[in-house]
Structure 1
């Protein structure tokens, strides 16, 4: 039997996220930390440059089956924010464990849903 797919992460690393346009941010450390926890996909532009650095936390396959949706977090530009995300992922992530209130500071509506009816 295959173990269930854990939460996954998508990191935006293109025109604004993960670049020198955000000076003082250790993009490599953030990427390495999240890759050490869960499957991590590096994406080109997610069309949310005003929120750089963008981290999308995807629910586990089991949580997705119960209706959990990906959580988009923006302005994740310091190690403490990355650790808050890491702690949430380790406890189960979206649909499994409530999102810590501190992450409300980073939560935003993804571009594809901003103008949805």
Structure 2
């Protein structure tokens, strides 16, 4: 595992709030997923979570078989309550994005149970992939 130094995030952002990481790498966010307006999906998440969570875009998370991938990381309070990052795959419709936003607004991992439908999207990536997100 690599160790990189990072600048501390402001107290009002980052770990104080949930972080929603949206993959837009080689498969996610591309025409390989037809019929989905990827830009609109990202705008939908950002608009719904503007005051609630940090929404960030990343390159390939190396879970291409689950494209489009979104990872919901708990807030500091959620992590203290036992919450861990939740990986969601095949997030290819607007209803799923709405469900993710509603869950994060309710507190996200560790603080609120996700809507049951999100169980269909959840998956566990390999340890190597999980560690790459933490770097």
Normalised by the length of structure 1, the TM-score is: 0.89
Instruction: Kindly state the Cα deviation for residue 26 of structure 1 after the two structures are TM-superposed.
Output: 1.2
- The correspondence for 1:12, drawn from 15, 19, 23, is 23
For residues 107 and 69 of structure 2, what CA distance do their matches in structure 1 show?
Answer: 20
Secondary structure of the corresponding residue to residue 16 of structure 2: coil
Instruction: Kindly state the Cα deviation for residue 113 of structure 1 after the two structures are TM-superposed.
Output: 6.6
Can you give the 5+ residue segments of structure 1 that lack an aligned partner in the other structure?
Answer: none
Can you give the 5+ residue segments of structure 2 that lack an aligned partner in the other structure?
Answer: 1-10, 130-135
Q: Does 1:102 align with 2:117?
A: yes
**Correspondences of 1:1-117 after superposition (within 5 Å):** 3=12, 5-36=16-47, 37=49, 38-112=53-127
Instruction: Kindly state the Cα deviation for residue 65 of structure 1 after the two structures are TM-superposed.
Output: 2.3
Q: CA RMSD, aligned part only?
A: 1.7
Q: Is the 8 A contact 1:12 1:43 kept in 2?
A: yes
User: Number of paired residues?
Assistant: 113
Secondary structure of the corresponding residue to residue 22 of structure 2: strand
For residues 95 and 78 of structure 2, what CA distance do their matches in structure 1 show?
Answer: 26
- Runs (4 or more) in structure 1 with deviation over 2 Å come to 111-114
